[in-house]
Structure 1
């Protein structure tokens, strides 16, 4: 009799492992592209690419004749107002000496109004002075390294891009890598993992830390997942190609028997596998294919967690040389 030939495998009682490989480019975790907010003319550049700078250090000096003249004009107007007040004070003294009550009241009102005008002018002048001081110099917002200088003396700020690009090596370097949703739910924030970093013709292994998982909205209501890895190493400069391999086991509560995906079949809303059942008879033992319905759990691209109905020593049919039916006799071979 030409029995169907089947190849069998055995389920494993262990955690399902999700393997993932991803690549990305390392970028400074903390960086800033800064320019003069008002577009002033660049007067002097005080740093060069590669320089280390301290927070508050001046990077670029700017000039704006119109703003400076406006400040000088406002200061002159303030002095003029002070002279007006001095004149009104003299009038008030004179009117009081002459017991001219109507004139005294008028001068007093004018003096109070002039004083309020002076206060407004003083506040405006102080604000303008602060703005001039802030706009005149571009200062480093944090300790870091100058990555790029786009500023050109004599040109307006941000003419050819941000005047200064600054990065902080102390915060390390990061890369974002797309990851399947099935794996993203298993990632633990703060987990350390090895990163392969490419330097010219040499690849070095460095330690990285998973900092978070981000969700990005796509078209038609779909989303994609990306996880963020931070690497701190004094050899890094930013722009290096890097890769990571992750092997993440499923949680314990998702445990069961591990079965190859190709051994699992679907019938309507149910899943089943074929197992080989040995039957003893007077003429010898025979092998019979039995359909066993199973509940499936977590899965990766190769294997699935099967819960219940399957035992570790049960031979599961992985494939056959022809279609088989429940209860049909088969000739079993171990999968190699």
Structure 2
């Protein structure tokens, strides 16, 4: 009897050991299978949304231009004899810019003066003849002589007015003079040829109106700026040499590349975005225009908002979304899956995107992934 009981107990122990070994091996195989599967899952990096201010940055370089350009025309049609200025010269009002060859007009004036002298001599002769005729008493002859003299006197008056007009024209058009104090920005005249009447012979900048600089930025960045704000521009690449400028105008500039004209972001790099043209006014007596200027202007939003990196936002036909990692606890360890979270966007700067709705601030938002992701897909973290 004791032998039978001992044999039964031995079998039970054997069964228990076998079962333990079996379940142990099952656990080991399951563990290693799960571990191997984990290794093959996409690896992600995440970030937690945070409350931060936005920083708006304008960067760019360009050339100072004149606010008011005055065209100076030569309507004489005469050939250019001498050019007395070059681009960049400062000139005063009334100063001669170009001298013209008035020889043809001068000769024409001499011809007209000769014709006037001929008319005057003819009048003297008629007057002498009238005196002789008056002695005969022939009224008809006297009347005709009188009419001829009066007609000639009228011709002489016309000729005198013509000469005065030609003299005034010759004097006024013999040179092209500066109408204002300013700087010569363009010279179109050519020695030995007549100026094109439809093109300014010279163009001048009115320095009393100041200088300007134009810069195109994206519209979202411009929405944070105000007309009248003062900024510092650096001169000729030297950040230590600056000049004060005032933002005078903000105008539509059409579509632009998101990488040009300042940093604001909001879309993927190189995508077309709506642009605004900023016009800065510069009033500095030491500058003549044409200098290279640049700007690096930072402006804080003044209020902290829930933000994430702007390049983690994706788009589909339902709107804007981000991927978030969700954790599920299990007997063999925690599992992580990615889910789409649709969001409402606010403003953005060069690196941060404001989230108005869709996130609470505790989520783990995917910033990088070793492979393209799909909603509900398991990932390793």
- What TM-score, normalized by structure 1, do the two folds share? 0.64
Give 1:316's match in structure 2, choosing from 345, 365, 369.
Answer: 365
Task: Please report how far the alpha carbon of residue 118 of structure 1 lies from its aligned counterpart in structure 2 after TM superposition.
Answer: 5.9
Quick check: 2:80–2:189 contact (8 Å CA) kept in 1? no
Tell me the equivalent position of 2:27. Answer: none
Higher relative contact order (CA 8 A, sep 6+): 1
Is 1:204 the equivalent of 2:241? Answer: yes
Task: Please report how far the alpha carbon of residue 35 of structure 1 lies from its aligned counterpart in structure 2 after TM superposition.
Answer: 7.2
Is 1:131 the equivalent of 2:169? Answer: yes
Q: Secondary structure in 1 aligned to 2:62?
A: strand
Tell me the equivalent position of 1:231. Answer: 282
Tell me the equivalent position of 1:240. Answer: 291
Q: 1:246 to 1:84 in 2, by over 3 A?
A: farther
Task: Please report how far the alpha carbon of residue 224 of structure 1 lies from its aligned counterpart in structure 2 after TM superposition.
Answer: 8.2
Residues matched between the structures, number? 316
Quick check: 1:157–1:163 contact (8 Å CA) kept in 2? no
Q: Where does the alignment leave 5 or more consecutive residues of structure 1 unmatched?
A: none
Aligned positions of 1:1-336 closer than 5 A: 2=38, 6-12=44-50, 17-30=55-68, 36-37=74-75, 38-42=77-81, 45=84, 52-78=90-116, 111=150, 115=154, 121=159, 124-145=162-183, 166-180=204-218, 183=221, 188-198=226-236, 203-212=240-249, 213=251, 215=253, 227-247=278-298, 257-276=306-325, 289-296=338-345, 299=348, 302-322=351-371, 326=375
**Mean CA deviation greater in 231-240 or 183-192:** 183-192
Task: Please report how far the alpha carbon of residue 210 of structure 1 lies from its aligned counterpart in structure 2 after TM superposition.
Answer: 3.4
Q: 1:257 to 1:129 in 2, by over 3 A?
A: farther
Task: Please report how far the alpha carbon of residue 239 of structure 1 lies from its aligned counterpart in structure 2 after TM superposition.
Answer: 3.8
Q: Where does the alignment leave 5 or more consecutive residues of structure 2 unmatched?
A: 1-33, 257-273
Per-residue deviation, residues 95-143 of structure 1 (Å, max 9, x unmatched): 9xx796899599769957974x666555544443332222123222211
Per-residue deviation, residues 169-212 of structure 1 (Å, max 9, x unmatched): 4444444445456556666544322111127x784122123344
Quick check: 2:228–2:247 contact (8 Å CA) kept in 1? yes
Quick check: 1:42–1:151 contact (8 Å CA) kept in 2? no
Distance 2:206 2:297 in 1: 28
Distance 1:244 1:256 in 2: 27
- What TM-score, normalized by structure 2, do the two folds share? 0.58
Per-residue deviation, residues 285-336 of structure 1 (Å, max 9, x unmatched): 987644221234555664444432223444433234455554567666xxxx
Distance 1:209 1:180 in 2: 19
Distance 1:263 1:202 in 2: 34
Quick check: 2:55–2:350 contact (8 Å CA) kept in 1? no
Distance 1:322 1:205 in 2: 48
Q: 1:144 to 1:308 in 2, by over 3 A?
A: same
Quick check: 1:256–1:308 contact (8 Å CA) kept in 2? no
Task: Please report how far the alpha carbon of residue 271 of structure 1 lies from its aligned counterpart in structure 2 after TM superposition.
Answer: 1.8
